[in-house]
Amino acid sequence: MRAIEGGVTAAQGFEAAGIEAAVKYENRRDMAIVYSRVPCKAAGVFTSNVVKAAPVLWDKEVVKHSPYVRAAVINTGIANAATGKQGYAYCKQTAEKAAELLGISADAVLVASTGVIGNQLPIERILAGVERLAAEKTDTVEAASAAAEAIMTTDTVSKQAAVQFEIGSKTVTLGGMCKGSGMIHPNMCTMLGFITTDIAISKELLQEALREDVVDTFNMISVDGDTSTNDTLMVLANGLAGNAEITTKNEDYEKFRQALNFVNTTLAKKIAGDGEGATALFEAKVIHAATKQDARTLSRSVISSNLCKAAIFGHDANFGRFLCALGYAGVDFDPEKIELYFENEEKSLLIYKDGAAVDYSEEEATQILSSPEVRVLVDMHMGDAEAAAWGCDLSYDYVKINADYRS
């Protein structure tokens, strides 16, 4: 398996486009399309929020009942959530327009929206945007980048990843893009993510691979503890790589799982590191936990804590806050048994052991906490399970961005 450049057009047979449609803001790309020249198996995971956006309701039906998927139309600016029957009708109209232009059926078109909750879509602009997307889509790297830009909201950078690997003599490619910066605390999956691949695989195994993988990737990131109404992660597989279709959990399936895990982890960390107002990627890694679920719960608790996040922003080795966040996670442990380290790419510094602080250097700790990627490593000394979670620091800019997001 090797990482390559590119995103949703990296795999064979996929096209994309990203355009300025003035959905809410002028002078920025805000609508995108992902298109496959041939029918795709589709798998998806969606928000667990009771208040689901109209496109989430639409896509769940498509993934469940449609024989195949051919395209996804995405807009940013307005989330089409809390918009009632009118919002669902607009979503359906968007899919129907794309279907008509692309010569496919409406139930082969996924729709996704992100942005302000509660406003109705400007449907005329959306439909005009769909016309241009259908006309402009191509299979270039530039088209994938334009699409990745077009789905951004408060993101400061676009987010793509792609890998290739071999199954027998066939080269399989998997690429994806995602967006997300605020309202990030996925439960089932994250904001918007689209993965395309030319692998041949059964729909059941595609869905199972996705469902299993998000537990340790997109579900392990948090920016602010708010689970969105629009969280959607889709994988489209069109089979053009020409490998023998994967229908059992064989060696080929494992290769696919590894590739999917690499792309999902890469994209998820990009979201965490680009959290609203973030100055650092903040990782919590828990090792030697009693169970995998304990390790996940503990690491998520640390990266979700406002006080830990503010300490990272301040480069302040206030380790008590990290112990505190471990303590209220809901996992039982003996505080006298655990060890806590601050780490960056170069150094690992022991801070706490045997129930109290060790005699560490404040200077070294501050230096580590000033890195662009900071890790807190916790050794539970209870078992063999481990997990990592990713978040970011809490800065003035997070408040600034969110105190008046709509204006």
Distance CA 204, CA 212 (A): 12
In the complex, the smallest distance separating the C-beta of residue 117 from a copy of itself, rounded to whole angstroms, is 2
d(CA 234, CA 43): 6
Extended beta strands in 181-328, E state: 192-197, 232-237, 281-289
User: At 108, which amino acid appears?
Assistant: A
Altogether, the residues listed in the chain come to a count of 407
H or E segment and range at residue 98: helix 84-102
Specify the residue, 19 or 351, whose C-beta has the smaller distance to a copy of itself: 351
- 190 catalytically annotated: yes
Shortest approach of a copy of itself to residue 29 CB, angstroms? Answer: 23
Those residues whose C-beta lies under 8 Å from the C-beta of residue 199, and which sit 6 or more positions away, are: 167, 172, 174, 237, 239, 241, 243, 246, 256
Q: How far is the CB of 182 from a copy of itself (least distance, A)?
A: 7
Catalytic residue among 83, 94, 154, 190: 190
Strand partners, 114: 76
Q: What phi and psi, each to the nearest 5 degrees, are found at residue 105?
A: -90, 150
Q: How far is the CB of 161 from a copy of itself (least distance, A)?
A: 27
Distance CA 121, CA 112 (A): 12
C-alpha–C-alpha distance, residues 155 and 145, integer Å: 14
Residue 277 in tokens? 């107002």
Rounded Cα distance, 230 and 112, in Å = 8
CA distances from 18 to 76, 154, 233, 291 (A): 11, 17, 18, 43
Task: State the minimum distance, in angstroms, from the CB of residue 21 to a copy of itself.
Answer: 21
Report how far residue 229's alpha carbon sits from residue 227's, in angstroms, rounded to the nearest whole number: 7
Start-to-end Cα distance in the chain: 45
Q: Which residues bind a copy of itself (CB under 8 A)?
A: 48-52, 79, 81-87, 116-120, 182-183, 185, 187, 224-229, 304-307, 310-311, 313-314, 316, 318-321, 323-329, 331-333, 335-336, 352, 354-357, 394-396, 398-400, 402-407
Distance CA 47, CA 56 (A): 8
Shortest distance in whole angstroms from residue 170 CB to a copy of itself: 42
From the CB of 30, what's the least distance to a copy of itself, in Å? 18
Q: Which residues are catalytic?
A: 190
